[in-house]
């Protein structure tokens, strides 16, 4: 066992540090990501070690780094080993939460040590520092700020270690020349008071992991063992969830659904309102995907849904409510998955709206066999399109998007359009003929489900306030990168994590 490995405390942490305190030993604790160990970190840790008999360093696990696409550059074990090699560090522990609070309560240090840049808690984007200060005071310790050389891991990573394509490097360099962090934060703040409605179908996404056994002895098929199933909010619920992190309140209009499957009381929080649920005997729309446990590859997918359009008796109350209530919103986001809820009559009502911005995406999927296209909508303020779906609609494998998309915008009287191109990034179009190409921000893909919904949700908000095309595309791309980095819609993109991503990307 190496000296470094004895510094990493993984088990019975509370008991271990309680034993240290029995000998009246004093403890200082530092906490951070330490993605790139630099002179500022070392000076900070040395200064912290001089305050007490022992220095404990708490390191954020990969899941809670939340500094945008491609971060952390170094995984948790590498970061722990690097910190553990320092002579001034006595013990290293993992932080498996968004704050240091759980580790402060385990270690109960005499000093919680932060850099001088954290001396004003109001400058903390995450909002965690104030809670950590209250925690260290509650357990009888003190907060201490080190002075001296400071630097930014994000700045150094962006300059020397970022593994980006040349196109993305150039695009980010131009972005840093044009905008400062406070400029981008001002756009984030502007959307907070928007009144947002989301219309469309609720989808329940299920994922079952399987392990292959062998070929069946009686049939020419491969047998699998089920290992576990997870259920996530899909369809407009994923859109509503992401929007609710960015604005004060969002209301969704949809059909009746068994939200209890998702923890209804947790999902319908103070920011999310459900205005209408149509009562019918239609089954919930469930999309169930079976994945190989070892590789994550999809083996099979099944749909549970009724594809027939709603009958007129079901529509009356629904259409009347749409007509009366949607005019009071600033923006109406329509996600049309083509499963019968958004009928011709409903589309007409939505297209006739005068006051709110109308932002629309029509999705092609196995359940609508390519018949669900943006052509159904006579008007929209923003249209969100997928490159492959547009190819299918045009019956053209290589359309000139720079010509085709403005034609669609003109036909719909749209002021904005967003075209998603997968690994190639996305294009954002304005009504003056301007277009902005945003390279993909992330090369890591866990699950593509929901990426288009995230783009629709976030681009709609920034288009509504008239943000520049580059800003619309940047915010949407960050949201998409976050979404594809998780299985299903496991969680929304918090506003604080969006801000942390922006700050990390702009560091130079």
**What integer pLDDT is reported at residue 2 of this predicted model?**
47
Instruction: For 392-425, give the secondary structure using H, E and C.
Output: HHHCCCCCCHHHHHHHHHHHHCCCEEEEECHHHC
Count of residues making up the chain: 508
**Two structure tokens written together for 233:** 């909010």
Residue 31: name the closest of 120, 100, 102 by CA: 100
Q: Is residue 50 part of a domain?
A: yes
CATH number at residue 24: 3.40.50.620
Q: Is residue 270 part of a domain?
A: yes
Q: Is residue 207 part of a domain?
A: yes
**What integer pLDDT is reported at residue 418 of this predicted model?**
96
**What integer pLDDT is reported at residue 505 of this predicted model?**
83
**What integer pLDDT is reported at residue 275 of this predicted model?**
67
**What integer pLDDT is reported at residue 151 of this predicted model?**
52
The number of angstroms, rounded, from the C-alpha of 466 to the middle of its chain's C-alpha atoms is 22
CA-CA distance, 369 to 489, in Å (whole number)?
Answer: 24
CA-CA distance, 55 to 31, in Å (whole number)?
Answer: 11
Task: Walk across the sheet containing 202-215 and list its strands.
Answer: 222-235, 202-215, 285-292, 298-304
CA-CA distance, 32 to 57, in Å (whole number)?
Answer: 8
**What integer pLDDT is reported at residue 453 of this predicted model?**
95
Q: Do residue 419 and residue 482 come from a single domain?
A: yes
Number of domains in the chain: 2
**What integer pLDDT is reported at residue 160 of this predicted model?**
41
**What integer pLDDT is reported at residue 311 of this predicted model?**
67
Q: Do residue 128 and residue 266 come from a single domain?
A: no
299 and 281 in contact (C-beta within 8 Å)?
no
**What integer pLDDT is reported at residue 168 of this predicted model?**
81
Task: Walk across the sheet containing 435-438 and list its strands.
Answer: 272-278, 249-255, 195-200, 331-336, 357-362, 382-386, 416-420, 426-430, 435-438
DSSP lists the bridge partners of residue 304 as 286
CA angle 439, 441, 444 (to 5 degrees): 125
Q: To the nearest 10°, report the CA torsion of 182, 501, 478, 94.
A: -160
If you search the block for the tokens 């001088």, which residue do you land on? 116
Q: Which of 143, 160, 177 is the last residue of a domain?
A: 160
Q: Is residue 425 part of a domain?
A: yes
Instruction: For 319-337, give the secondary structure using H, E and C.
Output: HHHHHHHHHHCCEEEEEEC
Q: Do residue 236 and residue 138 come from a single domain?
A: no
Q: Do residue 92 and residue 203 come from a single domain?
A: no
The number of angstroms, rounded, from the C-alpha of 405 to the middle of its chain's C-alpha atoms is 27
Q: Do residue 499 and residue 362 come from a single domain?
A: yes
Q: Do residue 153 and residue 290 come from a single domain?
A: no
Q: Is residue 7 part of a domain?
A: yes
Q: Do residue 100 and residue 13 come from a single domain?
A: yes
**What integer pLDDT is reported at residue 261 of this predicted model?**
53
Phi, psi of 502 (to 5 degrees): -60, -45
**Residue partners of 240: CB distance under 8 A and separation at least 6:** 198, 250, 252, 272
Residue 195: name the closest of 273, 266, 259 by CA: 273
**What integer pLDDT is reported at residue 3 of this predicted model?**
47
Q: Do residue 110 and residue 75 come from a single domain?
A: yes
If you search the block for the tokens 């993605």, which residue do you land on? 35
**What integer pLDDT is reported at residue 452 of this predicted model?**
92
**What integer pLDDT is reported at residue 27 of this predicted model?**
92
DSSP letters for 124-160: -SSS-HHHHHHHHHHTT-EEEEE-S----HHHHIIII
299 and 210 in contact (C-beta within 8 Å)?
yes
DSSP class of residue 8 equals B
What's the domain range around 75?
3-160
Q: Do residue 377 and residue 310 come from a single domain?
A: yes
Q: Is residue 174 part of a domain?
A: no
CATH number at residue 348: 3.40.1190.20
Q: Is residue 403 part of a domain?
A: yes
Phi, psi of 103 (to 5 degrees): -75, -35
Q: Do residue 348 and residue 206 come from a single domain?
A: yes
**Two structure tokens written together for 24:** 């009246």
Q: Do residue 93 and residue 235 come from a single domain?
A: no
Instruction: Return per-residue pLDDT of the chain as tens, 508 residues.
Output: 344 556 887 777 788 888 888 878 899 999 988 877 777 788 888 888 899 999 999 998 888 887 666 677 788 888 888 888 888 999 999 988 888 899 999 999 999 999 887 887 777 777 788 888 999 999 999 999 888 655 555 554 455 445 566 778 788 888 989 999 899 999 999 999 999 999 998 898 999 999 888 877 788 888 888 999 998 989 999 999 999 999 988 998 887 666 655 554 455 566 777 766 556 666 788 999 999 988 888 888 999 888 777 666 566 677 777 888 888 899 999 999 988 888 888 899 899 888 889 999 998 888 877 788 898 999 999 999 999 888 888 888 899 999 999 999 999 999 999 999 988 899 999 988 899 999 988 767 888 888 999 999 999 999 999 999 999 999 999 999 889 888 899 889 889 889 888 888 887 6
250 and 228 in contact (C-beta within 8 Å)?
no
According to DSSP, the β-strands at 27-32 and 416-420 are: unpaired
Q: Do residue 155 and residue 234 come from a single domain?
A: no
Q: Is residue 249 part of a domain?
A: yes
Q: How far are the Cα atoms of 236, 424, 448, 485, 497 from residue 442, in angstroms, in the given order?
A: 24, 10, 12, 9, 15
Longest dimension (CA), the chain: 78
Q: Which of 145, 160, 175 is the last residue of a domain?
A: 160
């Amino acid at each position: 066992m190496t000296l470094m490995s004895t510094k990493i405390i993984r088990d019975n942490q509370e008991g271990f540090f309680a034993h240290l305190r029995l000998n009246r030993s004093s403890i200082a604790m530092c906490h951070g990501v330490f993605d790139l160990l630099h002179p500022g970190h070392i000076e900070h840790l040395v200064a912290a070690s001089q305050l007490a008999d022992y220095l404990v360093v708490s390191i954020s696990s990969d899941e809670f780094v939340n500094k945008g696409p491609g971060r952390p550059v170094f995984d948790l074990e590498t970061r722990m080993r690097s910190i553990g090699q320092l002579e001034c560090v006595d013990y290293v522990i993992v932080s498996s939460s968004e704050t240091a609070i759980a580790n402060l309560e385990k270690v109960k240090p005499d000093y919680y040590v932060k850099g001088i840049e954290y001396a004003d808690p109001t400058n903390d984007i995450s909002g965690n520092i104030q809670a950590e200060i209250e925690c260290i005071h509650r357990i009888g310790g003190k907060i201490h700020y080190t002075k001296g050389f400071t630097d930014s891991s994000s700045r150094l990573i962006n300059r020397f270690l970022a593994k980006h394509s040349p196109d993305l490097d150039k695009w980010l360099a131009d972005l840093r020349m044009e905008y400062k962090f406070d400029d981008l934060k001002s756009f984030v703040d502007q959307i907070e008071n928007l009144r947002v409605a989301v219309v469309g179908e609720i989808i329940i996404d299920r994922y079952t992991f399987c392990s292959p056994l062998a070929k069946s002895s009686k049939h020419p098929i491969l047998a699998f063992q089920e290992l576990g199933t997870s259920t996530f909010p899909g369809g407009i619920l994923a859109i509503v969830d992401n929007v609710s992190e960015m604005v004060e309140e969002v209301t969704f209009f949809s059909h009746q659904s068994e939200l209890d499957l998702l923890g209804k009381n947790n999902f319908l929080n103070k920011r999310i309102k459900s205005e209408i649920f149509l009562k019918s005997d239609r089954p919930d729309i469930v999309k169930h995907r079976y994945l190989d446990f070892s590789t994550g590859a999809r083996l099979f997918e099944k749909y549970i849904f009724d594809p027939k359009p709603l009958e007129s008796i079901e529509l009356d109350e629904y259409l009347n409510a749409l007509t009366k209530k949607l005019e009071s919103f600033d923006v109406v986001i329509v996600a049309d998955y083509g499963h019968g809820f958004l009928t011709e009559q409903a589309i007409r009502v939505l297209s006739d709206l005068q006051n709110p911005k109308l932002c629309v995406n029509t999705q092609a999927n196995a359940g609508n066999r390519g018949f669900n296209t943006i052509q159904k909508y006579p008007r929209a303020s923003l249209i969100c399109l997928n490159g492959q779906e547009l190819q299918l609609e045009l019956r053209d494998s290589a359309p000139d998007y720079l010509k085709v998309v403005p034609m669609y915008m003109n036909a719909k009287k749209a002021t904005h359009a967003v075209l998603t191109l997968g690994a190639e990034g996305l294009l954002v179009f304005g009504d003056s003929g301007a277009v902005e190409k945003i390279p993909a921000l992330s090369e890591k893909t866990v699950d593509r489900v929901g990426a288009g919904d995230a783009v629709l949700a976030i681009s709609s908000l920034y288009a509504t306030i008239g943000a520049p095309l580059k800003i619309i595309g940047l915010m949407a791309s960050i949201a998409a990168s976050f979404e594809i980095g998780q299985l299903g819609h496991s969680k929304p993109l918090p506003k604080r994590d969006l801000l942390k991503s922006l700050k990390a990307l702009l560091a130079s």
